[in-house]
Structure 1
Amino acid sequence: MTDRHDHPAAFVDDMSDRAEQIADAAMRLFARYGFKRTAVDDIAKEARIAKATIYLHFKGKDDILRATLQLLGQRVDALCREVMEMKAPFAERLMALLRAHHCTAFLSIGAGDHFAELRAVIDDIAVKERKAFESIFVRYATQLIEECEARGEITLKRPGVDPAALITTLMQASVGAKVGGISYEDYEARLGLFAGVIIAAVLP
């Protein structure tokens, strides 16, 4: 009988899969109950593993939260890459990018009554992970704008039109649009309104 330690790559994959399983379970609970009301015991039950297994991968709940942001970032990055491969007009791709990044985050951790608490906790203990997550949108939005400008599909020559400022505005709007415990449909609609303003500013 072979041992998984005889196959280092398989062992690493198994460890990585288990860590992702834990982070995925934690993400659901943080969104449902908030960070403070979610215990490590709860995460173990949600992930259907022993509590001791969690501590093989994470030091504690703070560490798990950081992992949830990293996992969400990996998923969002993959969705954004798909958007960048689309053969579609600038307006359609920009809205698809907003859905891939901000709407995915909304569905994962940004909806419900616990968003404000999660945001505060993230700003306290997971700033590096939050910035890395936000940088995904900045990177792909910048790429999209540069590509579309190079093709002449949009113009940045109007006074006051600055790509970095436009992207920052969309980032800020994505957070502000969550206020009020709104539904996903309302959130998506609000993002569409903000995107419409940006699109109108850059179309020839």
Structure 2
Amino acid sequence: MDNDEVKNVTTDAEPAEPKRARILEAAMRLVLAYGFSRTTMGDIASAAEMSRPALYLLFKNKAEIYRAIAEQLLDGSVAQAGVILRREGPFAERMMMMIEECLIAMMRHIAASPHGAEILDMKSRLAGDLHAAWRSRLGALVTAAVVDEARRNGVDLQARGLSAPLLSALLLDGLEGMKMRIPDPDEQRVAARGLVRVVEIAIQG
């Protein structure tokens, strides 16, 4: 048995979760460097230091791996957003920190990749449902933050012809459009501050 076979036997005996994490990390690294279409299951198995049969035991194809990566990133983003938005502190500061750490930072590596456009294009085809669920969950968190801030300021949003879900949707729609229109992260931050300021003005007493 040569060294590669020994390595594969040892690796393939690992529990599924550590192995799965290693696959996703390796796949993300390869897709950022070479693109989704050029990355093969064999490439991923090699980068994850396992045999192809071991890889296929966990993922049937690249589409499943893409969805798993997307789900991992999006779930982490929502969890982090919840922690940030529930903190004490000025509304605008919490909202900007959420945008920075949960949206801009999440996209930084993809935006820097020469294959970023291809990776994002795959989102609608392979993970549109995951993105829609993420948007709904994030929207609920932003809505709750707006409700709390309006209550703290003694503001009746309905009397102003507004609602917390509407302001949340306006903010997230604006951020989504910003990502498509403004590739530079620094310029994204400037635009995001403007969007947050609009919402902040709407809920000030």
User: TM-score band (shorter)?
Assistant: 0.7 to 0.9
How has the CA–CA distance of structure 1 residues 32 and 183 changed in structure 2, closer, same or farther, with 3 Å as cutoff? farther
User: 1:169 matched to which residue of 2?
Assistant: 170
Task: Specify the SS of the correspondent of 1:88.
Answer: coil
Aligned: 1:34 with 2:44: no
The two structures have a TM-score, normalised by structure 2, of 0.78
Structure 1, 180-189 or 48-57: larger mean CA deviation: 180-189
> In percent, how many aligned pairs have the same letter?
26
Bigger Rg over Cα: 2
How has the CA–CA distance of structure 1 residues 85 and 167 changed in structure 2, closer, same or farther, with 3 Å as cutoff? closer
How has the CA–CA distance of structure 1 residues 185 and 84 changed in structure 2, closer, same or farther, with 3 Å as cutoff? same
**Distance in 2, Cα, partners of 1:143 & 1:80:** 12
User: 2:148 matched to which residue of 1?
Assistant: 147
* CA contact 1:90–1:153 (8 Å) conserved in 2: no
* Cα deviation code 1:138-158 (max 9, x no counterpart): 121112112222222665246
How has the CA–CA distance of structure 1 residues 200 and 114 changed in structure 2, closer, same or farther, with 3 Å as cutoff? farther
User: 1:78 matched to which residue of 2?
Assistant: 79
- Which residues of structure 1 form unaligned runs of 5+? 1-12
Name the aligned partner's letter for residue 96 of structure 2.
M
The two structures have a TM-score, normalised by structure 1, of 0.79
User: 1:125 matched to which residue of 2?
Assistant: 126
The count of corresponding residues between Structure 1 and Structure 2 is 192
RMSD (Å), alpha carbons = 2.6
Q: What is the Cα deviation at residue 76 of structure 1?
A: 1.3
Matches within 5 A, 1:44-193: 44-152=45-153, 156-157=157-158, 159-179=160-180, 182-193=183-194
How has the CA–CA distance of structure 1 residues 100 and 25 changed in structure 2, closer, same or farther, with 3 Å as cutoff? same
Q: What is the Cα deviation at residue 122 of structure 1?
A: 1.6
**Distance in 2, Cα, partners of 1:38 & 1:113:** 14
Structure 1, 22-31 or 55-64: larger mean CA deviation: 22-31
**Distance in 2, Cα, partners of 1:31 & 1:166:** 34
**Distance in 2, Cα, partners of 1:153 & 1:27:** 46
Task: Specify the SS of the correspondent of 2:37.
Answer: coil
- Which residues of structure 2 form unaligned runs of 5+? 1-13
